[in-house]
A and B are shown apart, each in its own frame.
Chain A
Amino acid sequence: MSWVSTFYGSSIGKKTIVAVTGAIMVLFLIGHMLGNLQVFAGPGTATEPAKLDEYAELLRFEIGILWAIRVALITTVVLHIITVVKLRAENSAARGQNYAVRHYQRANAFSRSMFWGGLALFAYIVYHILHLTAGVAHANLFEHGHVYANVIRSFQQPLIAGVYVVATVCLYFHLFHGVVSLFQTLGVSHPRHLQAVEKFGHALAAIIVIGFASVPIGVLLGVVK
C-alpha cells in the first residue's frame, strides 16, 4: 500500500483527494438540499407530522447507519480540509516573494476565494451542526426531534437567517470553482467542453444554493410558517 502514501505525497495525488472528497460533498449537498425542501410541505396536522419531521425520522431509523454516514462525511470533510491546508502551505512556499505589480487576467473571485471561503464554510458547518443537530448554539430555540419547528423558530430570527443566507453565497463561490476544477483535476476536462462545464458549474451551484437559501428566506418572508 506504499503507493497510497506516495500518491498522497504528490501534488496531483493531493489534488485528486480534494476533488474526490469535494465530489462526495456535492452529492451530499444535493441530498441534503432535497431533504430541506420538504419544509415547504408545511407543518403537517395534528394527526400527520410535518414532512420534514418524517424525513428526519427516516434518517434516524437505524442509529448505526446514521453514525456510519456521519463518520464518513466527517472524514471526507476533514480529509478535504487537511489536504487543502497542505496544498496551501506548499503553494505559498512555492510562491516566495510577491510581485510589486501584478495584474491577474483569469484568476478571479471564484478561484481566489477558495481557501478563505472554504474556511468560512467550515466555520459555518460547525455552527450549523451546533445549531440544528446538537441544539446547543441556540438552545432556547431548539427542541429535540422537532426539526420543522426548530427551523421555523430559528429562521424567524433575521440574524440567524442572515448567517445562513451569507453562507449560501459563500457556497456558491466555492461550488462553482470546485465543480469546474473537479473535472480538470480528474482529467476529464477539454477546452471544447470548458464552456459547458462552466455553465454546468454555475447551474449546479445555483440550484444547490437557491435550494438551501430558499428555506431561511422563505421562513423570513413568512412563506413557510
Chain B
Amino acid sequence: MNLTLRVWRQKGPQDKGGFVDYPAKDVSPDSSFLEMLDRVNEELESRGEEPIAFDHDCREGICGMCSMMINGYPHGLEKGTTACQLHMRHFSDGQTITIEPWRVKPFPIVRDLITDRTAFDRIIQAGGYVSVNTGSAPEANMIPISKEIADAAFDVAACIGCGACAASCPNGSAMLFVSAKVTHLNGLPQGEPELLERTRRMVEQMDAEGFGNCSNHRECEVACPKEIQMRNISKMNRDFIRSSVLSRVFGTNGKS
C-alpha cells in the first residue's frame, strides 16, 4: 500500500520545528510501523537527506524506548500495543498518517520524534526501589506472599516507562507511571517499611519535574501499552495522604 506521512521534524530543542510530508510507497501490510519508517529513512539517506530521528530499541514492546503519537493516538490506536509492535495491516491504502513526538513539558524534544524522558529516571531515583544492599537479603522463601498479591504486583511492575500516559494526558500528568511503581513496591511486604517515605518523595519529585495533575480523564489507561489501571493512582493518593497528613497529624505510620 501507499501512504503519506506527515512527520514532525525539529532539529533540536531550540528549533521551532514543523511538519514535513513524505510518501511511503509499497508498504507491506506485514511490516511493523517502525519498519515502514526505516524504509522511508533509507530512502532519505540514499538521497543524502537526514533521516527522521525516532527512539526505538528492542522492537518487541518491552524496552519502552519507542514513543510517538500516531494519528492522534499514543503508540497508535491498537490497544495494549507499542509503536514497534504496531503493524501496517491496521492502516489502509492512501491514508495520511500524522506522526508527532510526545508533547509534555517535562519531556523536552531532543530531535524530531525523540524526547528526553530522564524525568522518569529521576522519579524512580527518588524512591522507586527497596533499600536492600547486595548480600543482605534473607532467604527468598522466608516471606510467603500470596499468589494474588504477587500477581497484582506483577501487573503494575509490567510498566515499561514509555511515557505514553503523560503524553496522552490532557493535563500532562505522569500519575499512572508514578503510581505503577509506588503500588508495585508498596503492595509487597518487602516495600512496606519504606512506604511513607517512598510515596512522599516520588510524588514530590513528580511535581518538581513539572508534570500536571490527574483530573480523571482516564486517557492514560487506554494509552498504556501494558494496560496499567488507574486504580493505582487511587491507591497512591491514599498512600500519599497517609504519608503527608495522617502520619504527621497522628505521629504514627499513618495506619489506624
Whether A and B touch (Cβ < 8 Å) is answered with: yes
Taking a contact as CB atoms under 8 Å apart, the answer to whether A189 and B231 are in contact is yes
Is chain B's interface secondary structure helix, strand, loop, or mixed overall? mixed
A106: chain B residues at CB < 8 Å are 217-219, 221-222
Taking a contact as CB atoms under 8 Å apart, the answer to whether B207 and A10 are in contact is yes
Complex Cα gap A184–B176 (Å) = 13
Complex Cα gap A101–B219 (Å) = 15
Taking a contact as CB atoms under 8 Å apart, the answer to whether B244 and A100 are in contact is no
Which one of A94, A101, A184 contacts B233 once the chains associate, using CB atoms below 8 Å? A184
A95: chain B residues at CB < 8 Å are 103-105, 170-172, 212
Complex Cα gap A96–B115 (Å) = 13
Is chain A's interface secondary structure helix, strand, loop, or mixed overall? helix
| A201 CB, nearest partner CB in chain B, Å | 11
Taking a contact as CB atoms under 8 Å apart, the answer to whether B212 and A94 are in contact is yes
Taking a contact as CB atoms under 8 Å apart, the answer to whether A181 and B245 are in contact is no
Category for how many chain B residues contact A: 35 or more
Taking a contact as CB atoms under 8 Å apart, the answer to whether B218 and A99 are in contact is no
Complex Cα gap A85–B100 (Å) = 29
Category for how many chain A residues contact B: 35 or more
B129 at the interface (CB under 8 A from A): no
B92 at the interface (CB under 8 A from A): no
| A184 CB, nearest partner CB in chain B, Å | 5
- Residues 188-210 (chain B) with a chain A CB within 8 angstroms: 203-204, 206-207, 210
Complex Cα gap A88–B204 (Å) = 18
Taking a contact as CB atoms under 8 Å apart, the answer to whether A91 and B219 are in contact is no
Among the stretches A11-19, A49-57, A127-135, A210-218, the one at the interface with B is A11-19
Complex Cα gap A211–B7 (Å) = 52
Which one of A3, A91, A187 contacts B171 once the chains associate, using CB atoms below 8 Å? A91
A6: chain B residues at CB < 8 Å are 244
Taking a contact as CB atoms under 8 Å apart, the answer to whether B72 and A99 are in contact is yes
Taking a contact as CB atoms under 8 Å apart, the answer to whether B244 and A187 are in contact is no
Complex Cα gap A14–B173 (Å) = 14
With both beta carbons as reference points, the residue of chain B lying nearest to A183 in the complex is identified as B234
Q: A189-B234, A190-B234 are in contact. Are A101 and B170 (CB under 8 A)?
A: no
Taking a contact as CB atoms under 8 Å apart, the answer to whether B217 and A94 are in contact is no
B91 at the interface (CB under 8 A from A): no
- Residues 13-44 (chain A) with a chain B CB within 8 angstroms: 13-16
Complex Cα gap A190–B103 (Å) = 29
B33: chain A residues at CB < 8 Å are none
A58 at the interface (CB under 8 A from B): no
With both beta carbons as reference points, the residue of chain A lying nearest to B237 in the complex is identified as A187
A61: chain B residues at CB < 8 Å are none
A70 at the interface (CB under 8 A from B): no
With both beta carbons as reference points, the residue of chain A lying nearest to B207 in the complex is identified as A11
Taking a contact as CB atoms under 8 Å apart, the answer to whether A10 and B215 are in contact is no
| B203 CB, nearest partner CB in chain A, Å | 6
Taking a contact as CB atoms under 8 Å apart, the answer to whether A12 and B203 are in contact is yes
Chain A interface residues toward B at CB < 8 A? 3, 6-7, 9-16, 87, 90-107, 111-112, 114, 177, 180-181, 183-191
Q: List 7 extra interface pairs beyond A93-B212, A95-B170, CB under 8 A.
A: A7-B244, A91-B212, A93-B210, A94-B171, A95-B212, A99-B100, A191-B231
Q: What would 8 A/B residue contacts be, using CB atoms closer than 8 Å? A: A3-B245, A10-B240, A10-B244, A14-B213, A94-B104, A94-B210, A104-B170, A191-B230
The 3 closest A-B pairs by CB, nearest first: A187-B238, A94-B172, A94-B212
